[in-house]
Amino acid sequence: METEVIIISVAAFFTAILTFFSGFGLGTILTPVFMVFFPVDLAIGLTGIVHFFNNVFKLALIGKKADRPILVRFGIPAVLAAIVGAWVLLHIPDVKPLFQYNAFGKSLEVYPVKFVISILLIFFAILDLIPFLNRLQFDKRQMPLGGILSGFFGGLSGNQGALRSAFLIRAGLTKEEFIATTVVISCFVDFTRLSVYATRFTSSGLGDNLTLVVIATLSAIAGAFIGNRLLKKVTLKFVQTLVAVMLILISVALGAGWI
């Protein structure tokens, strides 16, 4: 148990610092770490709790700087779509992988939902990295679509943050508004999908791992605190570049079946 606590807590701490600026990635990166030590359903549940309380802490730090019109246009569709996505996850039969292959001494599987998400993320990453396309922005009319996409895939697979950030980073927000807005929306979507998942989580053994959850959550909160202290030292361009790089890394990992 001590080994799991140390590894997971260190991962939560450093990932929370890195992902504070991108607005996504803590759950995506932390879930595979939990999966090393726990069954898949329990790993998802444990990660979800750490992710939610870390977001609540960030909400207290910077939530007041969120852009309210975007919260309405993007956040409400995201929450409604997350309910649909989570319901679909709990009611569809096991989906067969698109394809399988062997690498690193393991058999890896690529599933349809994650493959579609990876294609979407690569598209948004290209928008951020090509100078001409980098000047394009999504206006208010595209916000509901972004909310629906990120909320639905968040409820269905837990991968909501990357799509959300891909839209909001191009919404003309300051770095503070961008980070705060992503945090507020993420809190609502997390609460929504965890509520729908609740019946599955209660039977998967969460109560037996409360000590680990508490320590990992506190580690993630400490990382978020340091990230907030570093916020004034970074530029919006740094945040945009970080988002683009993480979009590419996560899209490759999802498309290859690594996470």
Which region among 29-43, 57-71, 79-93, 183-197 has the lowest average model confidence (pLDDT)?
Answer: 29-43
Q: Could you tell me what percent of the chain has a pLDDT over 70?
A: 81
- Look at residue 80 in the predicted model and tell me its pLDDT: 93
128-185: per-residue pLDDT in tens?
A: 566 555 555 666 778 898 899 888 877 776 666 777 887 888 788 888 898 899 889 9
The pLDDT value given to residue 161: 73
pLDDT the model gives residue 158 = 66
- Kindly state the helix (H) or strand (E) to which residue 110 belongs, with its residue range: strand 106-110
Quote the CA–CA distance of 60 and 64 in Å, as a whole number. 8
How would you classify residue 158: left for phi > 0, otherwise alpha for psi between -120 and 50, otherwise beta? left
Other CB atoms within 10 A of residue 30 CB: 25
Average pLDDT over residues 80-92: 80
pLDDT in tens, 40-62: 667 777 887 888 888 889 889 88
pTM exceeding 0.75: no
Given this model, what pLDDT does residue 159 score? 65
More confident residue, 143 or 247: 143
Q: How confident is the model at residue 217 (pLDDT cuts 50, 70, 90)?
A: very high
pLDDT reading at 67 higher than 80: yes
193-221: average pLDDT: 76
Query: Mean pLDDT over residues 29-45, rounded?
Result: 75
pLDDT at 218: 94
Look at residue 254 in the predicted model and tell me its pLDDT. Answer: 72
- Which sign does the torsion angle of CA 194, 198, 202, 204 carry? negative
Predicted pLDDT at 136: 57
Q: Are 160 and 187 in contact (CB under 8 A)?
A: no
| Whole-number pLDDT of residue 197 | 66
Mean pLDDT (the chain) is 79
